[in-house]
Structure 1
Amino acid sequence: MTTRKLLLLPGDGIGPEAMGEVSKIIAILNDEAAAGFETETGLVGGAAYDAHGAAISDADMARATAADAVLFGAVGGPKWDAVPYDLRPEAGLLRLRKEMALFANLRPAICYPALAEASSLKRELVDGLDILIVRELTGGVYFGSPKEIVDLGNGQKRGVDTQVYETYEIERIARAAFEAARTRHGKVTSMEKRNVMKTGVLWNEVVSRIGRDEYPDVRLEHMLADAGGMQLVRAPKQFDVIVTDNLFGDMLSDIAAMLTGSLGMLPSASLGAVDAATGTRKALYEPVHGSAPDIAGKGIANPIAMIASFAMMLRYSFAMTREADALEAAIAGVLEAGTRTGDIMAPGCRQVGTTEMGDAVAAALRGTLAA
């Protein structure tokens, strides 16, 4: 039997609660599908800082690098607001992305028909929505140098963040977007700010060349990122795959998430390059929502984004398409039956907590796999 080694990094806030529901799914797949998952659990974020004085320890970083895939919860919270900048909880996630070379972040924004009324937009704008945002993850302003605050004297300071992109970084994320579009509806929208940023000019130039020379079968359009944000809330179903840089991708994917009704519904995958020798790739999967410290420990968090992130893991890391389809169908079925956590509650539905939602999805999955 194939052994698949997973590292679970629950993190802070609601991360451990949501991760606990995925453990039920893993157990079912081991029982019903002989999946062979073996799990280790590590610390990241504030939890790691409290234990080790760092946002992730060298030992857990080594485990992440050695694992077949990493499932990540959430990090941060007011408890660690005074922690030095380089040791802040979010530094653990940035280190994972950088050292695992996870350059491509895939964030689907799917509006389940049962949740169309939960969106802040009218039903007709979001019913059937299926967008994939492909965000460059290891370059741009988050990693550019210099990044500093300089004391100028006389009570004045200067903050500096540097936006840097090289050709190869844009090429590889563009190819990831075009490849994804080939499996969907054949359209890529590239978003940048070429009107005011030199990196935007280069981005536009490189994506245009890759599209023209390597993917002539995929339709490519360009849009300024601020206009893209406006169009996401005006007519979101015009988009198929959106490719953009690290900063704009962070913001645009959160906008897209809210179109679906709740941040608690959105998964993501962060992927490295495919190893030519082994055919495998480093990968980390995480829900788009944060640590939500205001509801942590109350048993009311929505675990669906974490469970759906695990479904993406099945699909992208292990080619377990049947099981991924079954898990996503289980989520849709539970929602269609009217089972809801508070963030997606609607009249006539039954409100449940984190554990009950996880139990419902697990039962639906078990029934599908046994059929």
Structure 2
Amino acid sequence: MKTHKILTLAGDGIGPEVLAEAVRFLKRLEALGLARFEFEDDLAGGASIDARGVPLSPETLARAKLADAVLFGAVGGPKWDGKGPYHLRPEQGILGLRQGLGLYANLRPARCYAPLAAASSLKQELVEGLDILIVRELTGGVYFGQPKEIVTLEDGQRRATDTQVYTTSEIERIARVAFELARSRGNFVHSAEKNNVMRTGSLWKETVTELHAAEYADVTLHHILADNCGMQLVRRPKQFDVMVMDNLFGDILSDVAAMLTGSLGMLPSASLGAVSPATGKRAALYEPIHGTAPDIAGQNKANPLAMLASTEMMLRYSLDEAPLADALSSAIEAVLARGLRTPDIAAPGTTVVGTAEMGAAVAEEVANILEVAA
């Protein structure tokens, strides 16, 4: 049985609490004799700034490059807001990992579990059965373009510049990911941009169109303006299957999609790099998108399900453990069907539990599912 090497970076706020539940689950798999893991723990974000003076040390990045996958909690919080230079803020920890590992493809599923359909901000009939996969380009665009600066002009005004920049190859590789994933799902892709006002949007649309015609004509392609896409997500979300977009629009629209599922605490993500020709492996990082939630940190109130769903994605995309991933997905649904809820998704008639209790319930349910299957 292969040993999977996992680097855990808990980060700040509720990061350590939710990551602990993912590790608990993986250790339960070990106890059942179903998998083997080697865990290495390290620091990122504010925790790394406090201990080492930087949000991501070169040593941590080196460990990430050697791991089979990285499990990441969350970074940031009021303690570090507006303090220190821009390049030493906690968020630079995750940006540094994305850039250093070449994690250009961010997969953000927005799935509405049946027991949570009534918890969505939208009418239940609009979200029942919802299953969207947003593919976000992660290492280009306005977050990484140069120049990125604030300068003082001769007249005393200050001017801020963020540069949106994309190359054909960057667009092609993320579109290729979206088309390949669509073939295993509903076989259609929406590509979102702003070609009407942005030159990068024009190049994006042209490049995706040409790639589609050359290699993926069997997949249905729809182009959609990003602002209209946001409107359609709350108007008729089930029209979407796979959605591909740039870094900025992916960041914004995936958070919109998250609320369709009932809570940001339900949305996982996977960030993937290119497959290495030498090893056949790809760098990968898995994290919930809910942030550090400092107002509830340390109170056993955080929802660990996005972290556990991120672990499911890790089992599926990095560790070649699809049956275990399927069992984890089924366990999350089963626990929700039993009425267990953390405070963010609580509703009348449900049982409110804490972070640890929810994590333990999912781990136990997975054990039951796998023992039955065995």
Instruction: State the shift of 1:278 in Å.
Output: 1.9
- Number of the residue aligned with 1:134: 135
SS at match of 1:56: coil
1:26 partnered with 2:23 = no
How far apart, CA to CA, are the structure 2 residues paired with 1:357 and 1:146?
A: 45
TM-score normalized with structure 2 length? 0.98
1:255 partnered with 2:256 = yes
SS at match of 1:78: coil
- Number of the residue aligned with 2:60: 60
Q: Which deviations, in whole Å up to 9, do the C-alpha atoms of 1:302-322 show, x marking residues without a partner?
A: 000001100000000011110
Contact 1:32 1:369 in 2 (8 A): no
SS at match of 2:135: strand
How far apart, CA to CA, are the structure 1 residues paired with 2:290 and 2:13?
A: 11
- Number of the residue aligned with 2:50: 50
Q: Answer with 288-297 or 147-156: which moved more.
A: 147-156
How far apart, CA to CA, are the structure 1 residues paired with 2:212 and 2:250?
A: 20
- Number of aligned residues: 371
- Number of the residue aligned with 2:315: 314
Which amino acid is 2:260 matched to? L
Instruction: State the shift of 1:146 in Å.
Output: 0.4
- Number of the residue aligned with 2:204: 203
TM-score normalized with structure 1 length? 0.99
- Number of the residue aligned with 1:35: 35
- Number of the residue aligned with 2:110: 109
Which amino acid is 1:173 matched to? I
Residues 33 and 236 of structure 1: CA distance in aligned 2, closer, same or farther (over 3 Å): farther
SS at match of 2:103: coil
Which amino acid is 2:175 matched to? A
Which amino acid is 1:73 matched to? G
How far apart, CA to CA, are the structure 1 residues paired with 2:189 and 2:15?
A: 33
Q: Answer with 272-281 or 93-102: which moved more.
A: 272-281
- Number of the residue aligned with 2:222: 221
How far apart, CA to CA, are the structure 2 residues paired with 1:83 and 1:132?
A: 36
SS at match of 2:147: coil
Instruction: State the shift of 1:276 in Å.
Output: 2.1
- RMSD of the alignment, in Å? 0.7
SS at match of 1:319: coil
SS at match of 1:80: coil
Which amino acid is 2:26 matched to? I
1:362 partnered with 2:363 = yes
Contact 1:274 1:280 in 2 (8 A): yes
SS at match of 1:202: helix
Describe how 1:95-106 pairs up with structure 2 within 5 A.
Answer: 95-106=96-107
- In structure 1, stretches of 5+ residues that fail to align are none
How far apart, CA to CA, are the structure 2 residues paired with 1:362 and 1:277?
A: 35
Instruction: State the shift of 1:277 in Å.
Output: 2.7
Instruction: State the shift of 1:34 in Å.
Output: 3.4
Which amino acid is 1:181 matched to? A
- Number of the residue aligned with 2:296: 295
- In structure 2, stretches of 5+ residues that fail to align are none
Instruction: State the shift of 1:354 in Å.
Output: 0.4
Instruction: State the shift of 1:33 in Å.
Output: 4.1
SS at match of 2:97: helix
How far apart, CA to CA, are the structure 1 residues paired with 2:256 and 2:267?
A: 11
Contact 1:181 1:241 in 2 (8 A): yes
How far apart, CA to CA, are the structure 2 residues paired with 1:51 and 1:323?
A: 36
Q: Which deviations, in whole Å up to 9, do the C-alpha atoms of 1:322-359 show, x marking residues without a partner?
A: 00000010000000000000000011110001010011
Work out the percentage of aligned pairs sharing the same amino acid. 64
How far apart, CA to CA, are the structure 2 residues paired with 1:32 and 1:67?
A: 23
- Number of the residue aligned with 1:176: 177
